[in-house]
Amino acid sequence: MKFVDYAKIHVAAGKGGDGCLSFRREKFIEFGGPDGGDGGDGGSVYLRTDPRLNTLIDFRYKRHFKATNGQPGAGRDRIGKSGQDLVIAVPCGTVVHDEVTGEAIGELLEAGDELLVARGGRHGFGNAYFKSSTNRAPRRITKGTPGEARELRLELKLLADVGLVGLPNAGKSTLISRVSAARPKIADYPFTTLHPVLGVVSLGPERSFVIADIPGIIEGAAEGAGLGLTFLRHVDRTKLLLHVLDVSELDPARDPVQDFKTLGRELVKYDARLAKRERWLVMNKADVLPPEKRAELLRGMRRRLRWKGPVYLVSAATGEGCEALMQAVGARLAELQAETPAPNATQGGPDGH
């Protein structure tokens, strides 16, 4: 299925029903009094996560959503029926913004999370509501108020625990296919991966995590070059980034140190907070290096990059070092999970009534 991570939709809540102007008129009852009922509230619009969905592609074909209006009141103190709420299904990981104001309305992370995005209009009052000891025959009513209408921007952020980042052809697709059941397209040209690929890494009973192959980033990605911002947003939620470098030395013009610095600059330009995200260095394609050069390479890369974090030398092609890397990642994620409470959906939107 095509991965769609961005959509714009229009939502409109229902209008509140008008109040009714009516008087009780029955034979032998001279002063029946007012009996106009109130209208019903308009239906509201909600977004609710559905774990069966994994893209926003449906919103490419249907963009307008409207809840039903409240019915007007009627005589004999009959209250109008309220409009039915409209619930729109979205995938987990959907972030919602008001397209006009840019306001962040909320985000939906877990299955069943719900977010109010447009509140239904208030009902109007019938003339029976205004009856008092000094006004026994009021002819006053109020009309229902309009429901809210909004232009929304929906953005789907992958709910991966670990993100693989690196320049094109660093071997990320091969690595994710090695450690999970994901089968991305792999070829020797830039931007083979045209959409993020999710894989589940299983380490044993009740020990698994989700890893995402973030498509290749080139210099200038933060300004929109290449696939740029389309996919940089997907590193936002990952707890840990694995920075994959090609250290095969097959391309003399390619310097892994410069590759590392290029990607680091793009992450910082996109969001300075990413500079503080925990990042591990994964040097890939070790299978083409002679054994005697590997220790020297590890020392040299640490020195040139002034790197003090974890470093792993792996071969995604042969699987060498991949199991140890995934076990270490799993252990680190367990530590982070213990430190950080599970996130909940932010309940934004209009004020209640």
pLDDT in tens, 18-30: 999 999 877 766 6
Contact between 114 and 55 under an 8 Å Cβ cutoff? The reply is no
Beta-strand ranges (E) seen in the chain are 6-12, 45-49, 64-66, 86-90, 94-98, 104-108, 114-118, 149-156, 162-165, 197-204, 207-213, 240-246, 279-284, 311-313
Buried b (16+ CB within 10 A) or exposed e, 141-158: bbbbbbbbebebbbbbbb
Domain 162-339: assigned CATH number: 3.40.50.300
Q: Which range among 92-96, 116-120, 294-298 shows the weakest confidence by mean pLDDT? A: 294-298
The reply to whether domains 1-156 and 162-339 share a CATH topology is: no
Six-digit token string for 253: 């013009």
Say which CATH architecture domain 1-156 belongs to: Distorted Sandwich (2.70)
State pTM to two decimals.
Answer: 0.63
What is the Cα Rg of the chain in Å?
29
Cβ-proximal residues to 53 (8 Å cutoff; 6+ apart), any chain = 89, 90, 91, 92
Domain ranges of the chain: 1-156, 162-339
Return the number of other C-beta atoms located less than 10 Å from residue 328's C-beta.
Answer: 13
Counts of helices then strands in the chain (DSSP H, E):
5, 14
Query: Under the phi-then-psi rule, with left for phi > 0, alpha for psi from -120 to 50, and beta for the rest, what region is 110?
Result: beta
Beta bridge partners of 23: 34
For residue 49, what pLDDT is reported? 94
For residue 127, what pLDDT is reported? 95
Six-digit token string for 242: 């694995």
Write the burial class of residue 341 (CB in 10 Å: 0-12 exposed, 13-18 middle, 19+ buried): exposed
Six-digit token string for 83: 């409009």
pLDDT tens readout for residues 142-195: 999 999 999 999 998 767 789 888 877 778 888 988 988 755 444 444 444 445
pLDDT tens readout for residues 195-232: 567 788 888 777 888 888 876 554 443 444 444 445 55
The average pLDDT across 133-139 equals 91
For residue 225, what pLDDT is reported? 41
Eight-class DSSP state of 265: H
